[in-house]
Structure 1
Amino acid sequence: MASPSPKSPEQSEKNKQYDRQLRLWGDHGQAALESGHICLINATALGTEVLKSIVLPGVGSITIVDDNIVSDEDVGCNFFLECSSKGLNRGSEALRLILELNPAVQGHAVQEPPDQILEQNPDFFKSFSVVIATVLSEKTIQELAQHLWDINVPFILCRSVGFLGSFRIQIKEHTIIETHPDNEQPDLRLDVPFQALSDYLNSFNIDDMDLKDHGHIPWIVILYKAVQKWQINNPNSWPMSRKEKNEIKNLIQEFIRKDENGIPINEENFEEAIRAVNTSLVPTFLPVKIQEFLYSSAATNLTKESPSFWIMCSALRSFVEAEGKGKLPVRGVLPDMTASTEHYVTLQNIYRTQAAMDAEIVYRKVQEIVSQLHCDTISENEVKLFCRHAHDLYLLKGSNIVTEYQLGTPVASYIARHLEEPDVMMVHYIMLRAAEMFRSEHCRAPGDWEPEADITKLKSCVSKLLSDISCSPFPKDDHIHEMCRYGGAEIHTVSAFLGGCVAHEAIKLVTKQYKPVNNTFIYDGASTNTATFTF
């Protein structure tokens, strides 16, 4: 193999800076992040913590929308403001200090309230990859959420009050090719080996090999040979049950060589084969969830505006029905195993070659569709990536935040149902919503001026929320007293934790890798409990 060309000092420095994250989402994921543009509305402690964790990994650019002036409270809880910042625009000051974290990131500050932007320049938000907002009135939340839903821009609404925090992700449709599952099922095709693999597997005769080579056979070959032997007494069958798989393990034990005293020789490759029986003898099939993608209306009724994901699904369906004979393209990835370098490289090249051939067929089909629709081209690398991960495609269909503020919707019954459970985290969602309602009515946070006097007012907000969803009042006022005691203050440790979580979700949305939280995340810093809800 030829040595790769040396990288320039600038590239090497960049790779060194982003080394850890490149291992998570690769060069193409980093390129997607660097082309992203994040908008933050209100540079609160939570807002700046979110941006910190987005700027450090190298997002392309950020824009802060904030018309507030820095106060003593801001300086007290926000690490990205200084005492000298008091009296100046909060967004501009926070931006200046955040950008010091990574000079490669571009930044802009807009000193206008979001409701004014919505009214006078609604197209402003179209250019963003994700919009993140904190501390908004109920009216602005609903107007902004509806507008971003209409223009199909992802929206993350964040809240942080005292020990409580939450975020809500609003997105119409989010497709993911690289989900990075924790336990990826190997795609070995031992039940339906393609020609090159079949020829390679059948070239081995385990019984006639000398002892030296016996310990270097890839465990894939050992599994295949054991199944072949098992099928002599079980023709046209595949080991599926626990009993049948134990029979395969026994056959592998018989393959292991013994010394002159009849004691089995320790051969690691055979031990690996035994361990792999339960996970690697899975029949090759088309997963039901992938079949739903391939035959969905989005993949069968393509238009010029169809996203590349659905165009590739359409091409993949054509492959499965024809060349694939009901199977997805070969993944082309081989798990680690004990084997000689020669055997492993040969086997690896067999899988990779077949995967490249399958991806090439799908790519040609994609080109035909693109030509017919006269839409934007789809690169060969994108198609190869799609085929490589075709077994684990994922689709997230979200809901509009506005539905949470409407009466008589399924959301209300969902909240009511969860409030009936003991010690449920949903009560914190109600308290954060009630504090939001209080702020909209009184233009300040509950407990900000008179904690004791605000208890009755906040209780009224809670009662109204519970009444709207047909729930009985809280039996105790402990949560209400606690919310008033917070006085709307942000605790930096809570904001820092929640900010990191929100930044992770924003990066998932921008890179289109890993599965984001579906809908709502609640955090209770006092108990360190978390919960997710899908409204």
Structure 2
Amino acid sequence: MQNDARYDRQIRLWGDEGQSCIEHASVCVLSASALGCEIIKSLVLAGIRSVYIIDSAVELNPSVEGGFDIGNPEDIITKDMNFLRQFTVIVGCNLNIDVAARINDFLFGKNIPFVHARSYGLVGFVRISVQEHTIIDTHEENISPDLRLDCPFPALSELVESVDLSQMHYDVHSHTPYLILFLKTLALWRKQYGQDDFPDNREKRKTFETIFMSLRMPHPENGSYREENFVEGQAAMVRSLKRTTIPLGVKELLDHPKARRPDLTQFWLLTAALRRFVIANEVLPVRGSLPDMISDSESYVLLATKFQDKAKQDAKEVMSYLHAFLTEQGVSTDIIKFNDCEFFCKKAAFLRVQHGTTTAQEMKSSLKEVFDDIRNADFAPSPITGVPQIPPAVWYVLLRAIDRFHSEKSRFPGTNGVPCTIDAYDLKARVIDLIMETEVSSC
């Protein structure tokens, strides 16, 4: 409870799962420069489990476990870099680009995220490099509800069949959840269109809406046909009347080689189990959550319970496939808890996998698209300040040139007392080199 109060605002952003990941993460920060200190401060305030700093002597917030190593962080490439494997994330601050690339290459093969951050005056960048990043909770906004109108599960069908709208009093009728009304309407609608059809286009929805509104009951006193649950259902119709499908991204994920022969990471083991569930059922597990609906408490709780029970039942089936797979591999079935499987099933429609590239690959990549963006950019003065607006692509090219400058001279432009005009000339020469290399590679 104390942590919930302390981190209340950020939990609203990334949820309990995100906060749990932060509180179990250990981060190594290479260089406690001004940039590094700001990063460390933000990590500590967010509740990171531990921070290890390679730089000079430090003091840490007593709520955070931490350690430090006095020395030049760039010397780490001359030592055994296996030391870095103990950390969840490595953050490099203002590192020499060649050093950053070598550290990144080592971490990339271990699938440990490397965050390369650089601030140069008032300009900076952050590059995140990881071979594979799996995402369960993508925090999607405005998602369509999982109502299973086109393929109701048995318990839901039984509940709907037990409801007799014609025998209801007005108060009960006007507090029947619109999901039940939709399913009642769908049964009548299919008598006209066929049992396998579904009102998933505008023309069909219009006839569905006509039948839906015909189910209204007049008010016993004034005879009006304005039941709030019907008004609410009419507004939710377009969003709700959708077939139950598996998103394309999730289909691709289930066809991934790792979904067929997973490694022993939690994400891919659960994905392999989910794949077996989909093969058996042709749909994803029921999400188990419902939108708010105008209803009396008893009716809504009963309906919500049916969905929650089905979601748990589906999660148990996925868990059984997981246990079967682990048993086949001779691995303990205790490595993944049911709560984790249940959460995975709830988010099954939003699973994502991202694949990254290394710093070295970026340094070797063509800048053609970047220079095209610069050529097409609008450098018109800002209507507020009157100063020309410099597009980010320009700063990116300059930062790439600065990396070359720093690699060759072991210092940044404008430092060590060297006149800025001399360094500006040298920096311009490196920008020209980048342009020439891009032109040659494009030929």
**Alignment TM-score, normalising by the size of structure 2:** 0.90
Distance 2:11 2:153 in 1: 33
TM-aligned CA deviation for residue 59 of structure 1: 0.7
Q: How does 1:69-108 map to 2 (within 5 A)?
A: 89=56, 92=57, 95-96=58-59, 99-100=60-61, 103-108=62-67
Aligned residue for 2:232? 272
The answer (yes or no) to whether the contact 2:145–2:291 under 8 Å persists in 1 is yes
Distance 2:305 2:404 in 1: 62
Letter in 2 for 1:232: K
Q: How does 1:491-506 map to 2 (within 5 A)?
A: none
Secondary structure, counterpart of 1:56 in structure 2: helix
Cα distance change of structure 1 residues 56 and 238 upon mapping to structure 2, 3 Å threshold = same
Letter in 2 for 1:283: R
The answer (yes or no) to whether the contact 1:415–1:469 under 8 Å persists in 2 is no
Q: Say whether residues 1:123 and 2:82 are aligned partners.
A: yes
Q: How does 1:218-297 map to 2 (within 5 A)?
A: 218-236=177-195, 237-259=197-219, 264-297=224-257
The answer (yes or no) to whether the contact 1:416–1:471 under 8 Å persists in 2 is no
TM-aligned CA deviation for residue 418 of structure 1: 3.6
Aligned residue for 1:421? 376
Deviates more, 1:43-52 or 1:194-203: 43-52
Aligned residue for 1:78? none
The answer (yes or no) to whether the contact 1:117–1:124 under 8 Å persists in 2 is no
Secondary structure, counterpart of 1:64 in structure 2: strand
Q: Say whether residues 1:470 and 2:435 are aligned partners.
A: no
Distance 2:394 2:317 in 1: 53
Q: Say whether residues 1:45 and 2:4 are aligned partners.
A: no
Aligned residues: 424
Distance 1:356 1:455 in 2: 64
Secondary structure, counterpart of 1:168 in structure 2: strand
Aligned residue for 1:60? 49
Secondary structure, counterpart of 1:124 in structure 2: helix
Q: How does 1:313-324 map to 2 (within 5 A)?
A: 313-322=271-280, 324=281
Distance 1:245 1:13 in 2: 50
Cα distance change of structure 1 residues 421 and 216 upon mapping to structure 2, 3 Å threshold = same
Distance 1:21 1:261 in 2: 50
Aligned residue for 1:344? 300
Secondary structure, counterpart of 2:91 in structure 1: strand
If asked which structure has higher relative contact order (CA below 8 Å, sep 6+), I would say: 1
The answer (yes or no) to whether the contact 1:191–1:283 under 8 Å persists in 2 is yes
Q: Say whether residues 1:148 and 2:107 are aligned partners.
A: yes
The answer (yes or no) to whether the contact 2:85–2:112 under 8 Å persists in 1 is yes
Letter in 2 for 1:206: L
Distance 1:45 1:243 in 2: 62
Deviates more, 1:365-374 or 1:386-395: 365-374
TM-aligned CA deviation for residue 279 of structure 1: 0.8
Question: Residue 131 of structure 2 is aligned with which of 158, 162, 172?
Answer: 172
Aligned residue for 2:421? 452
Secondary structure, counterpart of 1:159 in structure 2: strand
Question: Residue 288 of structure 2 is aligned with which of 313, 332, 335?
Answer: 332
Aligned residue for 2:409? 442
Identity %: 33
Distance 2:148 2:204 in 1: 19
Distance 2:23 2:346 in 1: 24
Q: Say whether residues 1:388 and 2:355 are aligned partners.
A: no
Distance 2:425 2:331 in 1: 59
Letter in 2 for 1:111: I
Deviates more, 1:160-169 or 1:211-220: 160-169
Distance 1:63 1:274 in 2: 56
Distance 2:187 2:375 in 1: 57
Secondary structure, counterpart of 2:124 in structure 1: strand
Aligned residue for 1:34? 23
Question: Residue 204 of structure 1 is aligned with which of 149, 153, 163?
Answer: 163
TM-aligned CA deviation for residue 241 of structure 1: 1.2
Secondary structure, counterpart of 2:439 in structure 1: coil
Letter in 2 for 1:42: S
Question: Residue 360 of structure 2 is aligned with which of 387, 399, 402?
Answer: 402
Letter in 2 for 1:469: T
The answer (yes or no) to whether the contact 2:101–2:358 under 8 Å persists in 1 is no
Secondary structure, counterpart of 1:110 in structure 2: strand
The answer (yes or no) to whether the contact 1:41–1:132 under 8 Å persists in 2 is yes
TM-aligned CA deviation for residue 417 of structure 1: 4.2
Cα distance change of structure 1 residues 415 and 337 upon mapping to structure 2, 3 Å threshold = same
Deviates more, 1:115-124 or 1:414-423: 414-423
The answer (yes or no) to whether the contact 2:149–2:183 under 8 Å persists in 1 is yes
The answer (yes or no) to whether the contact 2:118–2:126 under 8 Å persists in 1 is yes
TM-aligned CA deviation for residue 23 of structure 1: 4.0
Deviates more, 1:16-25 or 1:327-336: 16-25
The answer (yes or no) to whether the contact 1:248–1:277 under 8 Å persists in 2 is no
Secondary structure, counterpart of 2:199 in structure 1: coil
Distance 1:428 1:178 in 2: 33
The answer (yes or no) to whether the contact 1:404–1:412 under 8 Å persists in 2 is no
Aligned residue for 2:386? none
Secondary structure, counterpart of 2:117 in structure 1: strand
Aligned residue for 2:387? none
Q: Say whether residues 1:114 and 2:73 are aligned partners.
A: yes
- Where structure 2 has 5 or more consecutive residues not aligned to the other structure, the ranges are 379-390
Question: Residue 327 of structure 2 is aligned with which of 343, 352, 371?
Answer: 371
**Alignment TM-score, normalising by the size of structure 1:** 0.75
Secondary structure, counterpart of 1:446 in structure 2: coil
TM-aligned CA deviation for residue 375 of structure 1: 3.5
Secondary structure, counterpart of 1:178 in structure 2: coil
TM-aligned CA deviation for residue 401 of structure 1: 1.2
Letter in 1 for 2:121: G
TM-aligned CA deviation for residue 262 of structure 1: 7.6
Secondary structure, counterpart of 1:227 in structure 2: helix
TM-aligned CA deviation for residue 150 of structure 1: 2.4
Aligned residue for 2:312? 356
Cα distance change of structure 1 residues 464 and 267 upon mapping to structure 2, 3 Å threshold = same
TM-aligned CA deviation for residue 141 of structure 1: 1.8
Secondary structure, counterpart of 1:136 in structure 2: coil
TM-aligned CA deviation for residue 260 of structure 1: 7.3
Root mean square deviation of aligned Cα: 2.1
